[in-house]
């Protein structure tokens, strides 16, 4: 048998050699192909390695708004520091101002503003960078910034003022103010349910068209006829967009007003601040900051990190949450508030998201909330009475799990809440935050009111490290002062 095997081998090699003799030199040719393949492999491997190192450097040596030449090659890094700042900072809070500036140097900001009150005193009010990079308009105290869901804190304060005056009650059914609302299993829903995102109207089955949104009767009809999202069973599920529309319908009925009108006619005048929920007039064109979302690679990387890695992301794609998609989708056709400079986006009032304001206007309202609703400037009226403040600030115990946010959100009766992200040295802050990073929070114990707005959206996380980093410096200083005072 072995001899046979050998024979076969021999005959094979003979055969192949005879073929090779006929067709000139395939061994050399395959060697040549192999060499080219090896070189190609080496080139691809080297390119991949360099590319990988480049991408690594790009993603880690600076933020999404650092010039890529600087991240990858360390070239033109001086541009990173080419940012100017304006405003005021109390000498004791220089470290907070420094952190604000560091956010720019780290490539995490384009234009931003921060403002803080401690004990009723303004300690920080800074703006930096660009309102509009292309048009080279600096970010100033005149800049108007969309703060998305931070607007909900304003809307909740406005409602609290009506409750304070006895015009509204959290425990009252919405049908008391708006009988048509009682359709589709919504007859028992209270104002308090709405303020806590538990009114069962987190999304609309029939999206509203822009033209309908500008027709008050049609608008009101659509909102009233929406059936309860959960068949009448009280369920907490974030009313991302609809929150403010329903609040406005109630305010229209009890006081012929809206959150925008209260802000314009009362708050802005009484407190020398600026909130505008539909600045569609020409005069605002050059004051509104467009958004900058940063390069796709950064956004994708940070989104993956935020959702817990590629597998978690895939899982989310395969099992999309219907409620989340419906509630977060923009219900008005063609209007995305990200395109906040477009007239279409500026015409429709949305007290859940369309607040155009600045950091100081947020911080001043927050400072009064930190002061139990009382005014912080002599001669100005109180924001809320002590009783009104106490009622609206009653904690909801235990915190309810939100179907959309998929976590328990500690909240107070008036509608504002506490974010895990904004707990510093065990000190909690109350208020709300907006998509992309804006923050509207206060702490009553240490009397801190804080506002942060920006036009750069480097990730989907909110609040993020930019604002929390600044607030941490403020808290450190306040704690230090309190300790010294006690000694
Ligand atoms: C509203 O409350 C009434 C009285 O308690 C009850 O009979 C009715 O079923 C409730 N409606 C819904 C949709 O839960
Ligand atoms: C309601 O307010 C509008 C202005 O926002 C005014 O034109 C209208 O007359 C008011 N209606 C009533 C009934 O007061
Ligand atoms: C929305 O956009 C589409 C396509 O761009 C356009 O045909 C349509 O008229 C727009 N609708 C409104 C209400 O602007
Ligand atoms: C934010 O800062 C904290 C503490 O400084 C750090 O642990 C965390 O990784 C930072 N997060 C991001 C997204 O940079």
Q: How far apart are the first and last CA of the chain?
A: 101
Residue 175 lies in a domain: no
pLDDT at 5 (0 to 100): 43
- Indicate if 291 and 382 belong to the same structural domain: yes
Cis peptide before 463 (omega within 30 of 0): yes
- Indicate if 341 and 403 belong to the same structural domain: yes
**How many Å apart are CA 299 and CA 53, to the nearest integer?**
19
**Which residue's alpha carbon is nearest to atom 3 within ligand 1?**
188
Counting ligand 3 atoms within 8 A of each CB, the residue from 213, 334, 339 with the most, and so the one to mutate, is: 334
- Indicate if 367 and 480 belong to the same structural domain: yes
Residue 397 lies in a domain: yes
Q: Give the closest residue to 298 by CA, choosing from 4, 64, 11, 56.
A: 64
Residue 201 lies in a domain: no
**Which residue's alpha carbon is nearest to atom 8 within ligand 1?**
188
Q: Which helix (H) or strand (E) holds 82?
A: none
Which ligand places an atom closest to the C-alpha of 465?
4
25-38 core/surface letters (b: 16 or more CB in 10 A; e: else): eeeeeeeeeeeeee
Residue 223 lies in a domain: no
- Indicate if 157 and 21 belong to the same structural domain: no
Contact between 253 and 178 (Cβ < 8 Å):
yes
- Indicate if 284 and 411 belong to the same structural domain: yes
**How many Å apart are CA 168 and CA 29, to the nearest integer?**
89
**Which residue's alpha carbon is nearest to atom 7 within ligand 1?**
188
- Indicate if 55 and 134 belong to the same structural domain: no
pLDDT at 16 (0 to 100): 47
Domain count, the chain: 2
Q: Which atom of ligand 3 is nearest to the CA of 334?
A: 1
| Token duo for residue 241 | 């967009």
Per the structure, the complete domain to which residue 54 belongs is given by 15-60
Q: Which atom of ligand 1 is nearest to the CA of 186?
A: 13
pLDDT at 321 (0 to 100): 62
Q: How many other C-beta atoms lie within 10 A of the C-beta of residue 70?
A: 19
- Indicate if 38 and 97 belong to the same structural domain: no
- Indicate if 341 and 475 belong to the same structural domain: yes
**How many whole angstroms from 219 Cα to the centroid of ligand 3?**
19
Q: Which atom of ligand 3 is nearest to the CA of 211?
A: 13
- Indicate if 347 and 397 belong to the same structural domain: yes
Nearest-5° Cα angle at 114, 111 to 118: 175
Residue 123 lies in a domain: yes
Long-range contacts from 390-395, C-beta under 8 angstroms, 24+ separation: 391/163, 391/164, 391/170, 392/156, 392/160, 392/163, 392/164, 392/170, 393/430, 393/444
Tell how strand 417-424 and strand 427-433 pair up: antiparallel
- Indicate if 321 and 404 belong to the same structural domain: yes
Q: Is 185 in the pocket of ligand 1 (CB under 6 A)?
A: yes
| Token duo for residue 82 | 């080419």
**How many Å apart are CA 28 and CA 38, to the nearest integer?**
15
- Indicate if 440 and 373 belong to the same structural domain: yes
Question: How far is C-alpha 448 from the chain's CA centre?
Answer: 21
Q: Is 272 in the pocket of ligand 3 (CB under 6 A)?
A: no
Which ligand places an atom closest to the C-alpha of 248?
2
pLDDT at 206 (0 to 100): 83
Q: Is 210 in the pocket of ligand 3 (CB under 6 A)?
A: yes
Mean pLDDT in each 10-residue stretch from start to end of the chain (487 residues)? Answer: 45 46 68 90 92 88 90 85 94 98 95 98 98 96 97 98 98 98 98 97 86 90 96 94 96 98 98 97 96 90 82 72 62 73 89 97 98 98 98 93 85 93 94 96 98 93 94 97 84
| Token duo for residue 110 | 């384009």
Q: Could you tell me the CATH number of the domain that includes residue 130?
A: 3.40.710.10
Residue 428 lies in a domain: yes
- Indicate if 136 and 271 belong to the same structural domain: yes
**How many whole angstroms from 188 Cα to the centroid of ligand 1?**
6
**What are the CA-CA distances from residue 399 to residues 15, 196, 409, 415, 417 (Å)?**
84, 10, 6, 12, 10
Question: Please, where are the H alpha helices in 226-341?
Answer: 242-255, 259-262, 268-271, 296-307, 310-318, 322-328
Residue 187 lies in a domain: no
Q: Is 232 in the pocket of ligand 1 (CB under 6 A)?
A: yes
Q: Tokens 């309102």 belong to which residue?
A: 131
Contact between 161 and 383 (Cβ < 8 Å):
yes
Phi first, then psi: give them for residue 208, nearest 5 degrees: -85, 135
Residue 168 lies in a domain: no
């Amino acid at each position: 048998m072995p001899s046979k095997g050998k024979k076969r081998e021999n005959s094979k090699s003979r055969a192949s050699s005879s073929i090779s003799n006929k067709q000139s030199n395939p061994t050399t040719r395959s060697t040549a192909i192999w060499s080219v393949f090896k070189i190609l492999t080496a080139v691809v491997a080297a390119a991949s390695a360099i590319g990988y190192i480049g991408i690594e450097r790009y993603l880690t040596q600076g933020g999404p708004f650092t010039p890529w030449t600087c991240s990858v090659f360390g070239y033109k890094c001086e541009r990173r520091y080419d940012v100017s700042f304006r405003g005021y900072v109390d000498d004791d809070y220089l470290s907070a101002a420094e952190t604000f500036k560091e956010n720019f140097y780290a490539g995490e900001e384009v234009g931003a503003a921060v403002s803080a009150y401690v004990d009723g005193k303004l300690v920080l009010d800074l703006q930096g960078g660009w309102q509009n990079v292309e048009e080279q308009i600096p970010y100033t105290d005149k800049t108007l910034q969309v703060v998305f869901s931070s607007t909900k804190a304003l809307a909740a304060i406005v409602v609290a003022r009506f409750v304070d005056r006895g015009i509204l009650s959290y425990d009252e059914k919405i049908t008391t103010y708006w009988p048509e609302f009682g359709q589709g299993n919504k007859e028992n829903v209270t104002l308090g349910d709405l303020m806590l995102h538990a009114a069962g109207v987190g999304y609309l089955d029939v999206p509203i068209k822009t033209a309908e949104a500008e027709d008050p009767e049609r608008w009101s009809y659509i909102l009233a006829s929406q059936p309860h999202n959960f068949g009448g069973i009280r369920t907490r599920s974030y009313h991302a967009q609809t929150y403010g529309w329903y609040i406005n319908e109630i305010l229209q009925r009890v006081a012929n007003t809206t959150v925008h009108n209260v802000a314009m006619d009362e708050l802005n005048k009484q407190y020398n601040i600026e909130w505008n929920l539909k600045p569609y007039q020409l005069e605002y064109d050059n004051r509104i900051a467009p958004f900058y979302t940063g390069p796709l690679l950064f956004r994708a990387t940070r989104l993956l990190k935020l959702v817990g890695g590629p597998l978690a992301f895939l899982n989310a794609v395969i099992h999309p949450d219907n409620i989340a998609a419906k509630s977060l989708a923009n219900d008005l056709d063609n209007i995305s508030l990200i395109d906040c400079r477009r007239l279409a986006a500026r015409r429709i009032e949305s007290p859940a998201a369309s607040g155009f304001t600045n950091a100081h206007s947020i911080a001043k309202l927050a400072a009064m909330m930190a002061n139990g609703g009382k005014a912080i400037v002599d001669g100005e009226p109180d924001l809320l009475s002590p009783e009104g403040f106490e009622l609206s600030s009653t904690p909801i115990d235990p915190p309810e799990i939100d179907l959309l946010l998929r976590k328990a959100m500690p909240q107070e009766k008036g509608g504002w809440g506490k974010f895990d992200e904004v707990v510093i040295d065990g000190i909690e802050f109350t208020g709300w935050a907006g998509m992309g990073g804006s923050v509207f929070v206060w702490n009553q114990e240490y009397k801190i009111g804080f506002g942060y707005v920006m036009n750069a959206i480097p990730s989907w996380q909110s609040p993020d490290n930019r604002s929390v980093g600044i607030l941490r410096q403020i808290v450190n200083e306040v704690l230090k002062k309190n300790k010294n005072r006690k000694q």
